[in-house]
Amino acid sequence: MIAAILADAVLVLHALFIAWVVAGALAVARWPRLAWAHLPALAWGLWIEASGGPCPLTPLEVALRRAAGEAGYAGSFVGHYLGAIVYPAGLTREAQWVLAGALALVNAGLYAWVLCRHARRATRPRRMR
């Protein structure tokens, strides 16, 4: 029972981490100090996507599922849970490179927007209260 709960917790953590990697720059636009948490996560996500390597959370979840007496799965978290949605059938390494590039471009654009916005605020005269 505990192993199944832990496996579900790892599943939720993994999904939240992926969401953070993809859209964390939007949070940085509101709270710039979050960049210190988002940039390393983004770098890790880009590395995993571009290298085709496994995220350590995937084998952890699979091991916990097996310890709970459930069937584990082969492959990646995204491939197992979101494969049909995120990745089309017959995903190639070239397509993964394109996805990594798209992730990098989207986040570079968001960070450029955040930096421009911050620069504009810094040069704006402050109003007296």
Q: What is the mean pLDDT of each run of 10 residues along the chain (129 residues)?
A: 83 87 90 93 90 82 83 58 56 80 91 87 73
pLDDT at residue number 18: 87
pLDDT at residue number 109: 92
* Predicted model pTM: 0.71
pLDDT at residue number 78: 54
Dihedral of alpha carbons 121, 123, 124, 126, sign: positive
- Residue 44: partners with Cβ closer than 8 Å, 6 or more residues away: 21
pLDDT at residue number 94: 81
